[in-house]
Amino acid sequence: MDREFPVRVGSLLDVLRNRRSRRFGLGMKMPEGPLAYESQQAPIPLTEEEEALLAFAACGVTGYALGDLGYGRGQGGTILARVLGRTIPSGDAIQTVSLVVSNHEATYLLKRPQDFVPEEVPELAQMAERGEYVELYRRSRTKIKDGRAAPSLEPMVNLNVNKWSLYRPGCTYFLPINEFSFLYINGLLEIFDEASGAVIVDERAGFKPAGITRFLKSKGGHLDDDPRSERTVTIQMVESLVTEFVTIEQGMMLQNLALMTEAMGLGGFPHWAAHAYGWFQALGCRMGTMPSTQYLGMNPLLGKVATLLGKNLEVPIVQGIDSPTGGAPLLKSYCPPYFPSMEAAVRAVVEAKFGAQGTYRGGSRHSAWQKPEAIASGAGAPSEATIAATIACCDYIYRTYGRFPAYSPPLRTVLGFQVNHIDVGFYDKHYRPEALSEGVRKHLECWHGG
């Protein structure tokens, strides 16, 4: 068992009250301005124990989601795609957001619950219950790069306000990565079923149906295209909801990192990491390219003009994270090139839920349910009409816009979170004493013996 960590878990209210962004770490220098200061101490990297607790707070595996939903036909319960749980909630229990941890020695991608063999999940949850966070951290991480990964500090890959403090020696950087495509397809399977019967139109193509004309009720199908039913949405509306849904999950991860940082007496802060491909190139992700006119959804005529003027440049676009050892992808998007077609991607999502070992079939035994066979028998798979409409819409988006989703690459970064040991001297010189909590002031004494 790991040793007892000196974490102040006794008062969540104290942690909430004292949580602050504290950037100035040991070994740092604020070069100029009214807060100019140069640390007189060498940086101290986070220990493996400290990183392990932060990683667990952000995305630690905790067991199974309860899935206390209605699973009868038309009740919507089967929108739940997985029944695995971690320290943050996740839409449809998909556990969409992955986490990268980068320090001066190496850069790691942490496994999500679904990335483990199903039989491992109870053991991982028990390790957390026993306080074996370091071993859990070791089991969860996969090295994707030696040394620290970091993009350029220059605009617009970064923001000038953060240049002085980012990626300094002694810091550990936590980067959430949002993956949109699985949740997107899973949501379409729900809204295209017979109970919902929604219609998606393309606002950039005269609001025509997004590849689903033959499924409309007015054409003899099951999707309700009567405007009085108010079941018509645009591609942009759907994708905005998907983006917001996943980004909220990332925000919960960042909040947990901030709270654990305060509880441990460390310094840390979130910062802008939203460049479309800067971080992905730094991580060595699998990248493709796309003409900038297509990337921006430009009118074809204007696109031809831009090409003639030599302004139709190729834009890097992230596709996934391949294994450094040549094994299965560590993080893939549910679209080409990881699938031969959007039909294959949609059917892979259906298989994950309703295939022989899917969540609602053989996989139901890996759950919190006492009688998984009852869930398996009561949870009906989507109809072939629902699946066909989902395939048609996804295929339309991919063929029309050259990617899936239409408005964004399938993977995205928004905010990162850097953690370091703070220099008390900086805060004592420039701030009132209450700027630092007692736990922050005593961190080195409690964790490092001085």
pLDDT at 296: 86
> Is 114 among the domain residues?
yes
- b/e string for 387-420 if b means 16 or more Cβ within 10 A? bbbbbbbbbbbbebbbbbbbbbbbbbbbbbbbbb
pLDDT (mean) for 141-169? 95
Instruction: Please give the pLDDT value at position 321.
Output: 98
What pLDDT, on a 0 to 100 scale, did the predictor assign at position 6? Answer: 55
Residue 4 has pLDDT above 90, yes or no: no
Q: Is 5 contained in some domain?
A: no
**Structure token pair of residue 415:** 């905010």
Q: Mean pLDDT, to the nearest integer, of 411-434?
A: 97
CB 223 within 8 A of CB 192: yes
Residue 175, helix vs strand vs coil: strand
Indicate whether 125 pLDDT > 70: yes
Inter-residue contact 407 to 236 (CB < 8 Å): yes
pLDDT at 40: 97
Output phi, psi for 28, to 5 deg. -90, 165
The answer to whether position 109 is within a domain reads yes
Range scoring the smallest mean pLDDT among 34-38, 324-328, 430-434: 324-328
> For the ranges 165-169, 241-245, 292-296, 423-427, which has the lowest average pLDDT?
292-296
Mean pLDDT throughout 292-299? 87
Q: What is the pLDDT of residue 7?
A: 52
In-domain check, residue 297: no
Question: The CATH number of the domain where 33 resides is what?
Answer: 3.40.109.10
Look at residue 151 and tell me whether its pLDDT is greater than 70. yes
Least confident of 4-18, 83-97, 219-233, 314-328: 4-18
Q: How many CB atoms lie within 10 A of CB 325?
A: 8
Q: What is the pLDDT of residues 331-340, one digit of tens each?
A: 999 999 999 9
Task: Note the pLDDT tens digit of each residue in 5-51.
Answer: 555 444 899 999 999 999 999 999 999 999 999 999 999 999 999 99
Per-residue pLDDT at 417 exceeds 70: yes
Q: Based on C-alpha coordinates, what's the Rg of the chain? A: 24
The residues that bridge with 286 in the sheet, in sequence order, are 320
CA gap 344, 334 in Å, rounded: 9
Q: List, for residues 87-98, the tens digit of each pLDDT value.
A: 999 999 999 999
Residue 244 has pLDDT above 60, yes or no: yes
Provide the β-strand partners of residue 437.
Answer: none
Residue that is written with structure tokens 């060498």 in the block: 42
Q: How confident is the model at residue 58 (pLDDT cuts 50, 70, 90)?
A: very high
pLDDT at 140: 97
pLDDT band at 1, cuts 50/70/90?
A: very low
Question: What is the SS3 assignment for 287?
Answer: strand
The whole-angstrom separation of Cα 61 and Cα 193 is 32
- For residue 436, being part of any structural domain is answered with yes
Residue 210, class by beta-carbon neighbours within 10 Å (0-12 exposed, 13-18 middle, 19+ buried)?
A: buried
State the number of CA atoms in the 13 A half-sphere of 113 facing the CB.
32
Q: What is the DSSP string of 91-117?
A: GGG----EEEEE-SSEEEEEPPGGGS-
Residue 121 lies in a domain: yes
Q: Is the pTM of this model over 0.75?
A: yes
Q: pLDDT at position 297, please?
A: 82
Binned at pLDDT 50, 70 and 90, residue 274 comes out as: very high
Strand spans (E) along 57-213: 61-64, 84-86, 98-102, 106-110, 141-146, 172-179, 199-202, 208-209
| % of the chain residues with pLDDT over 70 | 98
Tell me the backbone φ, ψ of residue 254, rounded to 5 degrees. -65, -40
Taken in order 40, 42, 43, 47, is the CA torsion positive or negative? Answer: negative
Name every residue whose Cβ is closer than 8 Å to that of residue 73 and which is 6 or more positions away in sequence: 195, 380
Rounded average pLDDT over 265-282 = 96
6 lies in some domain: no
CA distance 194 to 310: 48
Instruction: Give residue 381's domain range.
Output: 12-285+322-448
Q: What value does the mean pLDDT of the chain take?
A: 95
Spell out where 250-396 has E strands.
267-272, 286-291, 314-321, 331-332
Q: Is residue 313 part of a domain?
A: no
At residue 353, the pLDDT reads 97
Number of domains in the chain: 1
Alpha-carbon distance 161 to 23, whole Å? 12
- Please, which residues bridge with residue 102 across strands? 107, 173
